[in-house]
Structure 1
Amino acid sequence: THAPVDFDTNIATTITAHDAGYINQPLEKIVGLQTDAPLKRALHPFGGINMIKSSFHAYGREMDSEFEYLFTDLRKTHNQGVFDVYSPDMLRCRKSGVLTGLPDGYGRGRIIGDYRRVALYGIRYLVRERELQFADLQSRLEKGEDLEATIRLREELAEHRHALLQIQEMAAKY
């Protein structure tokens, strides 16, 4: 079976969600597990909560009620956002199998990181670059130039900076 030995019931995975994890710390040359213990599955609720519910059911586990409330009532997941914009015709075509390959089936809210730049340039440099790019957009924002795109780019740059600082925080645990 491919069942996990354990999995979280109440911690949504992020870069810093778990403490440092080791299999046998004194022997390890390369460190870092996805969670704080070997073979422990992390929860990825931002793509959609139903897949997690299915896993819990399959392995006879119970989801923390506050966690479920957070990702069903308070926080919109990727799938909820996608379904919110589908037209009734799209939903019918999706359900019947006429339309496939939609973002709810493939996006799952995951962004695959390219960490080569971290190794090449370092966190401090990349954070500073994001801060400079963010500041450079201030005049466009004040003038109302391409406002929607400018706001979106500033938000993305802020998220990049936040993620880079989380990587730095996570790495410091090791």
Structure 2
Amino acid sequence: MPMTAPGKFDSNGAWDGFRGEIWQEEINVRDFIQKNYTPYDGDESFLTGPTSRTEKLWNHVQKLQKEEREKGGVLECETEVVSGLTAYGPGYISEDMKDLEQIVGLQTDKPLKRAFMPYGGIRMAVQAAETCMMM
């Protein structure tokens, strides 16, 4: 937004119709929500059901979750790559069904794979990896 004076923004009408002032002067999400929230008292009839694409992917995730439970709670554990924002390329719920996915990207390169995050210290990370490998 263009500046009109030090610390002031010209909203160009972007805030027209919204109530409250505090959130316009400072970052205050609570004030914005309290002044502009309108409760919905209707039912869920406006919602649509899942698409066949979503159902296929969800069925695959449920199979992986079952496999994870059968293995004691961890399907796979990363032991080589330290997790970070750019640690992995795009990940898919299923490589065989990646054309069904609308949103690409997982925390790691595979679904339900535990990331290696040694931010609690290297000894804790090694212990977690050893525990994971025992499963």
TM-score, normalization by structure 1:
0.31
**Greater share of residues in helix:** 1
TM-score where L is the length of structure 2: 0.39
Relative CO higher for 1 or 2, CA cutoff 8 Å, sep ≥ 6?
1
